[in-house]
Structure 1
Amino acid sequence: YRLWQIDDPSDPALRSPRHQELIDQFDALLEEQSQLIIKEDFSRLYSGQGASGMNAMTSYDFTLYFVNVPANKLELWFWMESDRLLNPVFREFYSEREVVHEERRLRTDSTPTGKFQEQFDALFWQSSPYSWPVVGWPSDLEGITREEALEFFELYYAPNNLTAALVGDFDPAEATELAERYFGRIASGSGLAPQPRTREVPQLSEKRMHAFAETNPQVTIRYHSVPDGHVDEPALVVMGQILNGRTGRLYRALVEDQEVATSASGGQAGFKFEGMFELNGTAKEGRTPEEVEQALYAEIERLKTELIGVRELQKVKNQNAASNFRELQANFMLMYRLLMRDAYRGWETINSDPPLYESVTAEDIKRVANTYFTPENRAVAIYYRKESDGPEDTRLAGLDQAERQQVRQMQAVMESLGREQLAEFLNQLEQNATQVPPENQDMTEVVIEMARERLASVGAESR
């Protein structure tokens, strides 16, 4: 490949006989390994003691591992989690690498706009590492070795780079004693995890991308903004809440009044080192994404020239406070928020940040709108419809672009789950449905319906 003798090293038709022979030998070793290993031993031990919901998630800035355990099995959790950090065993590494590759195919390669969104990320972030997809590029997944994974583990999975959160019914004194007994066995890492040196350079001119995908015509507009904890972040977050939702400015203006779009949304995303403010709109039948784009700019211009009314601003603050309260009543969301905040600026910000949002003024919103919403600071993606053989799921019609993408991602996850895991996933969805904010109820109902259909389908296949 490096000598330009073949175009694609992953194309089986271009492999030499020796290359294919080595691949066959390697596959035979993987098959032999799979016959010797007791599968799912870790999760089976948990579930046999009444635990449930064991899973993990990864974002740009952190990875979470979580599980629900009975209150009287707290020591089991400390023992198991500390042991897999103290004595890591990367069983079936290369088989699991293929599982991750399959996740990429389901969530990115097989979705209508997945690969285009990756390309848009790479276009938007010129120098920042946020231009890299969380799951990795295909060549990364094909090339990473077990030795490289172990080196990564030793650096990032050391006690000096970990945070644990316990939420629920337990004795704090007992938990502290167990933490010292079990996690205290693990030596600190040899060095601190490196922080990214490269920051995003200032953008000097507008960037644009045009794509044809099997999706409704739509537009995405991104502005470079600020990372988590920046002094301007509260104003940008509140601004997003003013624009977003069924009662927000974008939906009222573009969907109800002008009738140029079927959905419209916007909001601030502050990561650990960088940030962005994104606007989305899906064109109504007979209208164009360019019309939606101009309508979005008109709403941005209002924010830059007019002060938000006192009543409108207070309504959004009240909604934000109520949403945060409902969210933190659920053990899982409280755990997630504590860990996410600790990965950024510290878990204490769960208490110190709300007053910052309450103190945002109309003048603050007007100021940040003029600071960050400039043509040279944005990137625009225009999606045109590419006709497909199959119709789009009609249940997605009432959701905005961000919600549809979330549904597709969860649908891809559901397709990879077994019957027992799927049943557990559905049970968690149904339990948390009453705590979902009103603006997300439609999306939740669609996901629950899809999960029920998938569970019935898997059950029928197993009979």
Structure 2
Amino acid sequence: MRFRNSALGLALILVLLAGAAPATVQQDMARKVTEFRLPNGIQFLIVERHEAPVASFVTYVDVGASNENVGATGLAHFFEHLAFKGTPEIGTTNYAEEKKVLDEMETVFRQILAEKRKVTGPDAQRLEQLNARMDVLQKQADQYVVNNEFVTILEKNGGVNTNAGTGMDATMYFINLPSNKVELWAWLESERLLRPVPREFYKEKLVIMEERRQRTESNPIGRLIEEIQTTAFKAHPYKEPTVGHMSDLAAASATEAMAFHKQYYVGRNITVAVVGDVYPTEIKALAEKYFSPIPEGEMSGRAVTEEPKQMAEKRISMQDPSQPVVVLCYHKPDIRHPDSAVYDAIQDILAGGNSSRLHKKMVKEEKSALFVGAFPGFPGTKYPNLFLFFGIPNQNHTNEEMEKGIIAELERIKNEPVSAEELAAVQTKATVNLYRQLMSNGGVALQLAYYQVMTGDWRNLFTAIDKIQKVTPADIQRVAQECFVTSNLTVGTIVHAQAQN
């Protein structure tokens, strides 16, 4: 059955390459989407695909790291972890007794924080006593925990690739199940959205702090990227790390996490996409039964703080005994901007694979770079963001060569119109890549939910190809001239200290 799905997608791609009108294909696909919204605001998007008895479910919550407050970074990512810890019925042997212990842990942790924050400094003996009590309570709470029961239930019922992700703009949850287990999904998903329990919160905190150490503190490129964010953005929440600052993680409490959940995990911030061997009437009945109790709440909305226009070039240099690297960032508009497709085309022309300009020149011809690439939406797309370029120099080559090589290609695209042939190849590639994402149930579900949350309308998924096809050489030149200017540039480098000496 998997072959049949792949064959359908391949046939679609071949039709496109043969010159079929993209608008016709998109209209055909858009007509297969059924949508409805519950009274509490939850948006459901359903696509029937009966080739195989399976279905994919994506829950897209319109809250990410950019919604966090100063001093409380990392909560969006933290709650993603908690969403797998269960509910009053899932993940525990006796929730009534467990809750007593969890409540006392919160009381003790508040006392620990208060002691640490004393102006005169903490009482070491008192702090030791509180930490010892916390350890005892954690062991008591552990006695009630059924480890990983949420995922185990899914796996025992044929669930695969259960996962989640947190970004600057949103938090996503993915589940794949046999289609005769749709009601099980509806119950599990609605329960963890409505009644999550911050089970093992303080143990999970240690996991997340270790995740930060591995990805940032112990990773030179991770440290550089974090420094670039805080340098390029001076006002907007995009300057903060998704995983959170270590001090914020250390001070985070289960009470804070649950308050974050109460504010943002509400109906008006939730979009659910279901794609596969399902029927819209069935999904609607289950949605009304299981998801209706979720409170409507207030929409997360958009961040109030806007990043001011950058007026001068910014540079940072980080010494580290590791592989040198250079990163160049230019401010650019958000995904809703009319030129969004133009930026995507520029990325494909400059760094979209082995046939791109930067790869051919710097990796193949000059052999100055081990790798060179670009990403036109860092660290998110909901708000104005960064067009990021990076280069890793080959042996006996330097960061300076990487920067000069990238800027030379940027100047070329600013001053020389892209040929019709090169642009046509990029447009065809972009079209094929988008439709490849729609070959699987999970891909369709993710794209529908993404466009609904990020752009306000899932239909924009099916107009994306039209926008790509309408990009002209003049558009590319105009946007490049507006964006790739020195006053809009932030440069970050890792310099090998020993080599420099």
TM-score tier (shorter): 0.7 to 0.9
Q: Match of 1:50?
A: 158
Q: 1:271-329: per-residue Cα shift (whole Å, max 9, x none)?
A: 10112111111111111101111111110110111000010110111111111111210
Q: 1:314-373: per-residue Cα shift (whole Å, max 9, x none)?
A: 011111111111121022222222222222112221101211111000000000111011
Could you tell me which of 160, 169, 174 is aligned with 2:268?
160
Paired with 1:264 and 1:317, the residues of 2 have a C-alpha distance of 21
Could you tell me which of 218, 223, 228 is aligned with 1:110?
218
Deviation at 1:141, TM superposition (A): 0.9
Paired with 2:286 and 2:258, the residues of 1 have a C-alpha distance of 27
Distance verdict in 2 for CA 1:291–1:5, change over 3 Å: farther
Is contact 2:224–2:493 with CA below 8 Å preserved after alignment? no
Q: Match of 1:122?
A: 230
**Equivalent residues in 2 for 1:174-253 (5 A)?**
174-189=282-297, 191-244=298-351, 245-253=353-361
SS in 2 for 1:193: coil
Q: Which has the higher helix share?
A: 1
Could you tell me which of 449, 472, 477 is aligned with 1:339?
449
Q: Match of 2:5?
A: none
Paired with 2:448 and 2:362, the residues of 1 have a C-alpha distance of 36
Could you tell me which of 389, 409, 415 is aligned with 1:305?
415
- AA in 2 matched with 1:341: Y
Q: 1:158-215: per-residue Cα shift (whole Å, max 9, x none)?
A: 11110111121111221111111211232312x3325310011111110001112343
- AA in 2 matched with 1:36: Y
Is contact 1:260–1:284 with CA below 8 Å preserved after alignment? yes
- AA in 2 matched with 1:325: Y
- AA in 2 matched with 1:360: V
Indicate the larger mover: 97-106 or 158-167: 97-106
Deviation at 1:27, TM superposition (A): 1.5
SS in 2 for 1:353: helix
SS in 2 for 1:205: coil
Could you tell me which of 456, 471, 485 is aligned with 1:360?
471
Paired with 2:375 and 2:417, the residues of 1 have a C-alpha distance of 18
SS in 1 for 2:494: strand
Is contact 1:241–1:267 with CA below 8 Å preserved after alignment? no
- AA in 2 matched with 1:348: R
Paired with 2:152 and 2:391, the residues of 1 have a C-alpha distance of 45
Q: Match of 1:287?
A: 397
Q: Which has the higher strand share?
A: 2
Paired with 1:2 and 1:37, the residues of 2 have a C-alpha distance of 32
Are residue 372 (structure 1) and residue 480 (structure 2) matched? Answer: no
Could you tell me which of 3, 6, 16 is aligned with 2:124?
16
Is contact 1:239–1:267 with CA below 8 Å preserved after alignment? no
Q: Match of 1:396?
A: none
Are residue 260 (structure 1) and residue 383 (structure 2) matched? Answer: no
SS in 2 for 1:22: helix
- AA in 2 matched with 1:322: V
**Equivalent residues in 2 for 1:437-452 (5 A)?**
none
Paired with 2:132 and 2:441, the residues of 1 have a C-alpha distance of 48
Q: Match of 1:452?
A: none
- AA in 1 matched with 2:235: S
Paired with 2:335 and 2:268, the residues of 1 have a C-alpha distance of 22
Distance verdict in 2 for CA 1:134–1:68, change over 3 Å: same
TM-score normalised by the chain length of structure 1:
0.78
Paired with 1:18 and 1:227, the residues of 2 have a C-alpha distance of 50
SS in 1 for 2:432: helix
Distance verdict in 2 for CA 1:239–1:187, change over 3 Å: same
Is contact 2:324–2:392 with CA below 8 Å preserved after alignment? yes
Paired with 1:228 and 1:117, the residues of 2 have a C-alpha distance of 21
Paired with 2:385 and 2:472, the residues of 1 have a C-alpha distance of 21
Are residue 41 (structure 1) and residue 152 (structure 2) matched? Answer: no
Are residue 146 (structure 1) and residue 257 (structure 2) matched? Answer: no
Indicate the larger mover: 17-26 or 231-240: 17-26
- AA in 2 matched with 1:273: Y
Deviation at 1:110, TM superposition (A): 2.4
- AA in 2 matched with 1:375: T
Q: 1:377-407: per-residue Cα shift (whole Å, max 9, x none)?
A: 010011123579xxxxxxxxxxxxxxxxxxx
Equivalences, count: 380
Deviation at 1:107, TM superposition (A): 2.1
Distance verdict in 2 for CA 1:370–1:107, change over 3 Å: same
Paired with 2:124 and 2:405, the residues of 1 have a C-alpha distance of 56
Structure with higher RCO (Cα < 8 A, 6+ apart): 2
Paired with 2:486 and 2:441, the residues of 1 have a C-alpha distance of 42
Q: 1:227-279: per-residue Cα shift (whole Å, max 9, x none)?
A: 11101211111011001111100011112222321211123116101121111
Structure 1 runs of 4+ aligned residues shifted over 6 Å read 1-6
Paired with 2:290 and 2:488, the residues of 1 have a C-alpha distance of 50
Paired with 1:164 and 1:376, the residues of 2 have a C-alpha distance of 41
Counting aligned pairs with the same residue, the percent is 33
Paired with 1:216 and 1:341, the residues of 2 have a C-alpha distance of 37
Deviation at 1:17, TM superposition (A): 2.4
Distance verdict in 2 for CA 1:97–1:283, change over 3 Å: same
Is contact 2:224–2:492 with CA below 8 Å preserved after alignment? no
In the alignment, structure 1 segments of 5+ residues that lack a partner are 10-14, 389-463
- AA in 2 matched with 1:207: K
SS in 2 for 1:164: strand
Alpha-carbon RMSD = 1.9
**Equivalent residues in 2 for 1:407-426 (5 A)?**
none
Is contact 1:155–1:192 with CA below 8 Å preserved after alignment? no
- AA in 1 matched with 2:400: E
Q: 1:40-71: per-residue Cα shift (whole Å, max 9, x none)?
A: 22222222222122221000000011111111
